[in-house]
Structures are given as C-alpha cells and as structure tokens.
Structure 1
Amino acid sequence: MENGAKTVVELQDILSEKQLEHILSKTAKLGAKIVGYDLKSASEGIAGFLGDHLRLTLYVKEDSVKKIHLFIKTLPMNNQPKVDMIMENNFYTREALLYQLFDDIDDAEDSNPWRPKAYIYSDKMLVMPDLSVEGYKSFPVAEYFDTDHIMITATSVARFHAAFANYATKRTINENKPYNFLEEYGHLMKSSIFVDLQWSRVTGKVSSDLLKEFSTNIKNYPADLAERFAKLCQKANMSLKEYDNTLNVIVHKDLWFNNILLRYDSGNKPTNAILLDYQCMQYGPPAFDIMLLIHLTTTRSYRERHESEVLRRYYTVFSESVDDDTKQRLAALNYDFDHFLVWCEKARMFAMLYTAFLFPYILMDPLQAQKTFDDPETFQDLLLVDRSPPVIEHAKVNDVYRNKQLDINEEIFEKYILG
C-alpha cells in the first residue's frame, strides 16, 4: 500500500492477531470479523519526531460492514539510532504509563475531553481512535494562535493539571501519606539527552548561528554567544523538576501545534482542544506547561499584551476543576493566583529556551524535516554534534521558519544575556 511514492508496511507487520482482537472488543460487536483494511502514512513527511504515524481503517463485518478509524504511532521503522534514543529515554514507556493511569486520573465521560482514549499502549506503540474523523484537526504550524485558540487550549491544559492534582489528593487520602509520583515512577522520568552538556552546546550553537546569520543586531552579540546560550539551555532544562512547598503535577512538556487537536463550530471558532503525545512528560510545577504553551504558539507582541489574560483563564479553570479536598491541599501550600504567577516567571526561561530548541525541528517543512532529521546516517550527528547547517540553509529560503526563530532567540538574548 502506498501514500504517494512512500510504501507503507502491511497490517500484520504492525498489529498482531491478539491486538486486533482487543481493538475489536472495544469497538465492535461480539463475533465481528475484519474483512479488509486501508493503511497509510498519517501525513506527507514528518508528523511527529518520536515515531512513525499511520492511519488505519478497518472494515468490520457485523450485521453489515462498518469502518473503524484508527491512528497508530509506532517506533521508527527505518531509523535505528532514533529507536535507541527513544528507548533509552523511556519516551513510549512514559506515555503508556500515563494512559494506564488516565482512567484513575480522569474517568468521566466528557463531550469536550482534554485527552484522547487509547486501545493499545506499550513501550513500542500507541493505537487510538482517529480523531480527524470526529472533526478534530491540528493548527497550521506556520501561523500563531489568536485569543480564541490559546484560551481553549489553556482550558484543556488547566483541566489536565487539575485532574492529576485531584488524583494525587485521592492517593494521599487513601494511603494516609503525601503521594509522590516520583517515588513510584521517577526511574521513568529521567531523560539523559536533555541534561547532557553536549546537547546544550549543540542547541546553543543553533541559536547563536541563527542570530549571527540573520539578525540585524549582529554588532551587539558577544563572541562567546554560543557558549552563553548553551549555559542558559543547561540551566533551563535543569530547572524543570519537582520542588518542595508548591504544587507539582505531570507536565506535558511538548505542547506544540501537532500535539494539540482542535474542534470547531460552524462559525470556525474553536470549541475544544485535545492534548496528544505525552512521551516527553515530566513532573514539576504546572507553570512550566502553560508558559511553554504560550511561547510555542503566540507572538512576542501578543504575549506582551495578553499573557496575563491567558494565565488568568488557565488559573480560573484550574481552580474550578479541582475538588474540595485538593483545594484544602492547595491552601496548605499557599498555592493561590499570586503564587502561581511567581512560578510562571520562574518557568519563563525554560519556556523560551525550550521553544528555541524545538523550533528548528517543528517549524521545518515536513518533507524537508523528514529528509533532514530522519536519516539514520546523520541522526546522531545532528542531535549531538552540529545541526546548524541544515537549519541555516532552510532559514534562507523559508521566511516563517527564519522569522519565528529570530523572534524567540532575540528575545532570549535581550532578556537573559544582554539584560
């Protein structure tokens, strides 16, 4: 089967008979049989950077033939170095853990869910309903959120954090001791790649090279700009962790456009946002998530004018979504709106530096990104040696790719280096 010129593996190469039976048990009548299928790539080029993405339609015979639409994420099929990196950092294992916990974290049926359901989740695969059939779609990467989009997404992020806060409270009450997520699962939360000094150096070099190549403020940049960016990267990544005497939750940490699915009304106004891809999740103050979301999806000028409104919406929804026992726990921590805003400012550097790290990947044209970042021969070098050459070359021919990166890196320079 083909998607354009790209050949896709057959169904039996992806799902076993037992897995297919499990999917049918969740989606079809007892005794239903698969009589056909269509399997294709979810998109042209890269849809996400930590796996291959497929769309599967099963034709199932019940009283008549019906279609079951599925979305599948698997370990990369043609890039072993990327597979090794994914397995070493427990990316799929983390996401599988969260899906395992989801029914306890948030078991209510909801017409506007903040998270998807999954039929299969493991350290190698995720199979879930294809939400595009329900009208959900991702936002164009080349654009920025307006107020309607950022507010509806902030609402879902707030509900996600509140659901986990309620879960932690319930565990605290049931076990008669403070619940600590890391005591159970801390061994899965460690990501060696993001705290590796060489990773910070490579990330800092890209930011420095972009500014030196394209910024009109080149005369203001010090000779050791790359080293200064690298130190900021290292400091920012070390800052996302569990802290005492404040609220800690599961933090998504990857809230860019392809990980947010939006549903719209007849007037093309967003009515709900579903958060996808929890592979990079960590544990820490919720401010890290909302600040990262704002920096990844809005312009600098929008943040300067409206950031406080977004943070107020987030905190209001969060407060309305936590139960009475959790409100008591938050009161004991003095976790009010002012406390939350203090943490937002503490999380700002992380949000800005992590945005600068992600942009060279996620803003690149998907077909070009596939050629650039999904080649097993060059994957390790681009990850840990030097990724500047392809980033600079693409920035020369793509205005959006260049300007979005310039904006965030100039802001970082002004605030944390020049300032």
Structure 2
Amino acid sequence: MVVQKEEIKGEAAADFHPAPVWLNESYLESLLQSKKNDAGLRVTGLDIKPATSKGENYASIMTRVKVSYVKSGAKNPEKGSYIVKTTYENDPFISNIFSGYQASTTEMLMYEKILPKLSALIDGTQQPEKLFAKTLHVDYEHDAIIFEDLAVTNHVLADRLAGFDLEHTHMALRKLAKMHAAAAVLNERQPGVLTKLDHGIFNRHTEGFGPFFQNMMGEGAEFADTCPELGSYYGDKLRALVKRVMEYSTRVYDPQPDEFNTLVHGDYWVNNVMLRYSEKKEPLDMILIDFQFSSWSSPAVDLHYFFNTSLQKNIRFHQQDALIQFYHKVLVDTLKDLKYGGYIPSLRQLVLQLEKGKFMAVIVSLACNGIMLNDQTADADFLSLIQDDERGRNFRRLVYSNKKFQEFVKHFLPLFDRSGLLDVTD
C-alpha cells in the first residue's frame, strides 16, 4: 500500500507545514479499529495533505487525512476523511510558548468534553442548529485532535481578505450568541466546569505573546509618525502604551462578578469558522472551529475581536451598534429558552460592558487585524510574529505597508483617542 504524504511540490511546498511523522497507516488503522469496534479492519489507502497554508493559521498545524479501509468480512472498501490538528511539536521555542497558554490542553478538553455538552443544550432549544464539528478522537499522547472533515459536507473557509458582509456577519453573531448562552447555562448547572478555563490570549498566568502585541503597537507608532493623516501625536501615544498593552488587554479578560461572563471562543474571526454555500453562493450554514484560547471571560473579548478582524469596511465603520443589538437579542432569547437563572444583561448593560472592555478593539485593530489582512505569506509564521530580529521587524513593516490595513488604522486611531483609549491611566 502506498501512503501519499505532502503532495505539494517545489517552491509551493514551503507555503505549507509538514504533517506529523507519527500520522501514518499503522496509527490510523489502530484508531479506526478502536472507534468502529472492529479488530480486523484494515486500511487499504491513505492520502495525507496539508489542510492550511501559511498565513491562514499561526497557532497550529492542520492536516487532511483521507482513508480507505475494509471492515472484517467486507469486500468493498469504505472511505473516511478527517482533519488532524496538532501543535508545533518539533519547535521547542514555539511549543514552550503555547504550553504556557495550555493551548492544546484547552482545545482537547473543549472538543472531548465541553463542545458536546454545549451542542446538547442547543439541540434542546426551540431553534436547534449545529455549531461545532464532531470529534472523532482526542490524542493526549500527541497533543492532537481528530475531527470530521467539514470539506466532505462542502464547508469551506471564507475569504479572509474580503471580510464578511452583513448576511455572513449576522450568521456568525447568531452562532456566537448561542455558544455564549449555552456556556453560561452549562456553568450554572455544573458550577466551576468552565470558570477553570483561564488561559486565553491575555491572561494572568503568562505573557508569552507579549512581544508580538508590544512590537506591533510599536510598529503602529512608527507608521503613525510617517502618516500625514496621523503624525507624531499618535505615534507618541502608541509608544507610551507599549508597556501597558498587556495589562490593559488582560483586564478585558478578567471576569467581573457584577457582569455577564461566559466561555468565549477567544479567537473568533473569519478563518475560525467554516461555511457551506448554496449554488448561488448564499451562506447556508456556519461551523465554529479552533478553540485553543477559549476562556471564561466577558463577551467583549469575542465581540471586539470579531468586529475588528472580520467585517467589511462599511459594516465595521457604521453598523457595530446594530450588530450588538442583534447579538443581544439572540443571547437573551437563548438564555431564556434554556431557563437560565443567572444575570441576564439588558441591552444597555451589555453596551456599557462592551464599552468598558473596548481596549480589546484597540489592540486587535493595531495587531491582529494587520496579520489577518496580510497577503504576503513568505514569512507569515509564528516566529515572525514573536521574535524581534531582522526577519520579524521586516515582517511587521510589511504588514503595516498593506493599504487596506492602513485605512483601518487611520480611521480608528482618532476614534479611539477621542474615547480616551489611547491614554495611559494607571
């Protein structure tokens, strides 16, 4: 039997991460034998390819596996297609940073224990719908998750460079609001089951990503200095914020006893959902993926992250208030449907909570959004994000040379400034 791996040839191969060495015929045969309760099952064909390329996923390696197998006593082979998500196991520097965030541990717990419970809650509402991919196996030895390949059901990634129109945005917010509601209910029914998740992108345990956010804000200051529409006024303000960016961002994540808290996705943007379309290219369904930074926090984390990474310009500039109202209605309706007994914020209370956590919009706009709009992927990897060497500095300058990103920065910096978000306060 021939096992096909890494079919990308030539220069294009450098744009993809290699599959894990342990992901082979023997491993998958043993796994399928266990899952299908058939010791005589035999793998007859295996095709392994990268599922994402550089610039699409900085925090993990995604591999698509297509398997042909024959069950005991059967003559005709069956086929399965799966996505295998793994960590950067061969890079100690990257692995050390991610271990500080408990990224793989969090996501394995999410797929094995938490997402099935959230799905069960949503299934019991008056408007059930699928939110998450089904998990085949969680492998703690290899820090890997194997789940259904959504490509089989014609789910695809949207265009991260184009961003979501209003129809996509409403669907994304509806799904997110239902996840948030189900999580609040789950933690109410099983106290503490979710509050222990406290290692989001900003947290009180590690600042491993600190160099990325600080360096990107510093690069933003350099851009402002040379931008005629901004100037050194903004450059100086951003430089003064560099040393406070981690603390101010972490405060958004800190759960507050007098506010609505829930399990946030933690990295909610265009590339962390998959969509199924009609023949007319209308969005029919959306599935949430990638939960390694989920944490018990304020919904401000997900909403500001989503608004400032994933929306088309006109929607991002002019329709956020209406989107918050839309999200709030779905959240409240779902909480009431599930007979939630805890604090349910009014729209005004939610608006004030989001305003309190709006520094998240600042750091996402100046750092994450630039990476997500970057279309020059030769050096688009985690090391370029985190290291302050010549390669990293060149990559950050390249990110800030993107005209679309510059337009967002020029629009929002004055708005942030007039709200006091660029001031160092304590």
Opposite residue 239 of structure 1, the aligned amino acid is: V
Out of 335, 347, 353, the residue aligned to residue 343 of structure 1 is: 353
Q: Is the 1:71–1:127 Cα contact (8 Å) retained in structure 2?
A: yes
TM-score where L is the length of structure 1: 0.83
SS at match of 1:142: coil
Between 243-252 and 223-232, the greater mean CA deviation after superposition: 223-232
Between 346-355 and 243-252, the greater mean CA deviation after superposition: 346-355
SS at match of 2:343: helix
Distance change >3 Å, CA 231–CA 255, structure 1 → 2: same
Unaligned runs of 5+ in 2: none
Q: Is the 1:46–1:367 Cα contact (8 Å) retained in structure 2?
A: yes
Q: Is the 2:121–2:182 Cα contact (8 Å) retained in structure 1?
A: no
Kindly indicate whether residue 297 of structure 2 is the aligned counterpart of residue 287 of structure 1.
Answer: no
Alpha-carbon distance in 2 for matches of 1:159, 1:109: 7
Between 238-247 and 348-357, the greater mean CA deviation after superposition: 348-357
Q: Which residue of 2 aligns with 1:90?
A: 102
Cα deviation, residue 268, structure 1: 1.7
Out of 193, 206, 210, the residue aligned to residue 207 of structure 2 is: 193
Between 216-225 and 309-318, the greater mean CA deviation after superposition: 216-225
Percent identical across equivalent pairs?
A: 15
Alpha-carbon distance in 2 for matches of 1:224, 1:324: 46
Distance change >3 Å, CA 223–CA 319, structure 1 → 2: closer
Kindly indicate whether residue 377 of structure 2 is the aligned counterpart of residue 373 of structure 1.
Answer: no
Kindly indicate whether residue 178 of structure 2 is the aligned counterpart of residue 159 of structure 1.
Answer: yes
Kindly indicate whether residue 283 of structure 2 is the aligned counterpart of residue 266 of structure 1.
Answer: no
Opposite residue 149 of structure 1, the aligned amino acid is: H
Between 212-221 and 282-291, the greater mean CA deviation after superposition: 212-221
Q: For 1:99-114, what aligned pairs fall within 5 Å after superposition?
A: 99=111, 100-107=113-120, 112-114=129-131
Alpha-carbon distance in 2 for matches of 1:270, 1:103: 24
Alpha-carbon distance in 2 for matches of 1:313, 1:28: 46
Cα deviation, residue 365, structure 1: 2.7
Alpha-carbon distance in 1 for matches of 2:239, 2:406: 18
Opposite residue 366 of structure 2, the aligned amino acid is: A
Out of 50, 56, 64, the residue aligned to residue 41 of structure 1 is: 50
Distance change >3 Å, CA 284–CA 43, structure 1 → 2: closer
Cα deviation, residue 118, structure 1: 1.6
Q: Which residue of 2 aligns with 1:174?
A: none
Distance change >3 Å, CA 349–CA 60, structure 1 → 2: same
Kindly indicate whether residue 92 of structure 2 is the aligned counterpart of residue 80 of structure 1.
Answer: yes
Opposite residue 59 of structure 1, the aligned amino acid is: S
Write out per-residue CA displacement over residues 128-171 of structure 1, whole angstroms, 9 at most, x where no aligned residue: 11112211111212112111010000011011111111212222
Q: Is the 1:76–1:82 Cα contact (8 Å) retained in structure 2?
A: yes
Q: Give the aligned CA root-mean-square deviation in angstroms.
A: 3.3
Q: Which residue of 2 aligns with 1:399?
A: 403
SS at match of 1:38: strand
Opposite residue 207 of structure 1, the aligned amino acid is: G
TM-score where L is the length of structure 2: 0.82
Q: Which residue of 2 aligns with 1:175?
A: none
Between 349-358 and 26-35, the greater mean CA deviation after superposition: 26-35
Distance change >3 Å, CA 322–CA 225, structure 1 → 2: closer
Between 271-280 and 293-302, the greater mean CA deviation after superposition: 293-302
